[in-house]
Amino acid sequence: MIGLKFNTRSKKPKIYSVAAATAAALLALLVLRLRGGAVMVWDNFVLAVYFGTVVVCLAVAFFRQLQYNPYSYNTILYPGFALFALSLFGTHVFAAVQAFRDPAGFRALQMLFTLLHSAKNYMLLTSPFLTLFAAALFVSNLALIRREGRRFVNILAIILALALVLGEALIGVLDYWSSVTSRGVLARNLTVNLLAAFYLYFECMIVGAIIADTIAARYRPEEDKDFLVVLGCGLKKDGAPTPLLRGRLDLALSFYRDQLAHTGKKARFVVSGGQGPDEIRPEAEAMREYLVAQGISGGDILVEDRSGDTAENMRFSKALIDAAQPDARVAFFTTNYHVFRAGLKARQAKLRAVGMGAPTRWYFWPNAAVREFVGLLTEHRGKQALVLCTLAVAYAVLTVLAYG
């Protein structure tokens, strides 16, 4: 993103302003209700202002989060839910206009139902995007299966695509199910709205992840780096780097040469990757050999050959860097779909580094990105449970108020 630099803020951004705006909106609505009257012009105006404020607060927090730590759960959460809040802002602006034009025709219960149906309406609004996204996942996954076989990890994108489409369809079917009893109506609507809240959360996470991953993968670090960490990703049967690994090494070499040409600063490499059970030698050894063949002095390459996953890549590389030069400026190099999660692991290892992503084949990227997304969902389970439970409770309360 033009003009935006990562790792330039020392304080983590907070969204206390959202809590303050929520309290102010609730107080304003309470005052309006105590004054009486069923006309909802000002109530919808308050909600429109509130959701507009939430959009601004989340957008500001998102950009500040990128400047503080771009590889964070919050970097996904803020843009995903900012778009949902934007849809609510538009809904209540429209409702306020309708109430102004026809005061007698827009009552308090209609505002309640507007809020209650917000998750379903957002899914309906974004259904064209979800349908295209699911179709793209399906097509790319079929291409991947034809080239690399029918393994479970190669059908994850198809599973996600089906889950997105079937979830929308299920909510639509349940929404038309009718009951002759009040309890049946309440049960039906509670089921539909809780399911919609569940899908709303994961849709916001998917959208947020796409935005965060794209920004992370396309970002180019400042050319002031002391160390360039290249993450391993497998070797051929003969011990040579795979095309995927060569892409990472070539990207690091390109950055190294550009920095040297533009600033005169010579960086050192850290090649990071242990020996897998199906590999004849450590990945780091093959990576070092490749860099030397490209003209890099062996003395400028630190070898980390013990790691078995990304977390260990970062932790062990940090130990080597700290021993050689504490407080060094670091960039890491991986494949585009992996930059965000690798950055998250770097932060967990207390390595303040920024990443670059090498391109990969079009059919491989979506499925790999889904795997990374599933991996991200395993992080910060407490935060995710809090957000999901908050949504579920909010829609359950609105359902009971409307149908109880």
CA–CA gap between residue 145 and residue 153 (Å, rounded): 10
Q: How far is CA 51 from the centre of its chain?
A: 22
Per-position b or e across 77-101, b if 16+ CB within 10 A of its CB: bbbbbbbbbbbbbebbbebbebbee
What is the percent of the chain where pLDDT is above 70?
95
What DSSP string describes 295-342?
A: T--GGGEEEE----SHHHHHHHHHHHHHHH-TT--EEEEEEGGGHHHH
The residues, ordered by sequence, that sit 6+ positions from 94 with a Cβ below 8 Å of its Cβ are none
| Integer angstrom CA distances of residue 286 from 114, 241, 279, 296 | 60, 6, 11, 14
Residues 187, 29: Cα–Cα separation, whole Å: 28
- pLDDT tens digits along 62-89: 999 999 999 998 999 999 999 999 999 9
Q: How far apart are CA 272 and CA 350, in angstroms?
A: 17
Residue 2 has pLDDT above 60, yes or no: no
CA–CA separation, 212 and 240 (whole Å): 32
Is residue 302 a contact partner of residue 324, using CB atoms and an 8 Å limit?
Answer: yes
Q: Would you say 262 and 223 are in contact if contact means Cβ atoms under 8 Å apart?
A: yes
How does strand 268-272 pair with strand 330-335? unpaired
Amino acid identity of residue 29, one-letter, is L
Tell me phi and psi for residue 310, to 5 degrees.
-65, -40
What's the pLDDT band for 153 if we cut at 50, 70, 90? low
Predicted pLDDT of residue 179: 62
Q: Which residues contact residue 237 at a Cβ distance below 8 angstroms, ignoring those fewer than 6 apart?
A: 280
- As beta bridge partners, residue 156 has none
> Stretch 213-220: mean pLDDT, rounded?
91
| H or E element at residue 174 | helix 156-175
- Separation in Å, CA 32 to CA 43, 46, 47, 116, 137: 7, 10, 12, 20, 48
Number of other residues whose CB lies within 10 A of the CB of residue 360? 18
Q: Name the nearest CA neighbour of 98 among 106, 108, 110.
A: 106
Place of tokens 């996470």: 205
The superfamily (CATH) of domain 227-328 is: HUPs (3.40.50.620)
Q: Which residue has the tokens 């497998």?
A: 234
Q: Which of these ranges, 223-232, 256-265, 275-284, has the smallest mean pLDDT?
A: 275-284
Domain ranges in the chain are 1-116, 127-218+362-404, 227-328
The H or E element that residue 349 is part of is none
At 3 the pLDDT is 61
Position 30 confidence tier, pLDDT thresholds 50, 70, 90: confident
Q: Given this model, what pLDDT does residue 291 score?
A: 97
Cβ atoms < 10 Å from Cβ of 267: 22
Residue 306 has pLDDT above 90, yes or no: yes
pLDDT in tens, 89-144: 999 898 888 888 877 766 667 788 888 889 988 988 888 888 888 888 888 878 77
**Torsion of the alpha carbons at 19, 20, 21 and 27, rounded to the nearest 10:** 110
pLDDT tens digits along 157-174: 788 888 888 888 888 787
pLDDT of residue 39: 55
Under 8 Å between Cβ of 313 and 231: yes
Kindly report the backbone phi and psi dihedral angles of residue 271, in degrees, each rounded to the nearest multiple of 5, phi listed first.
-95, 125
Calculate ∠ Cα 374-375-380, nearest 5°.
105
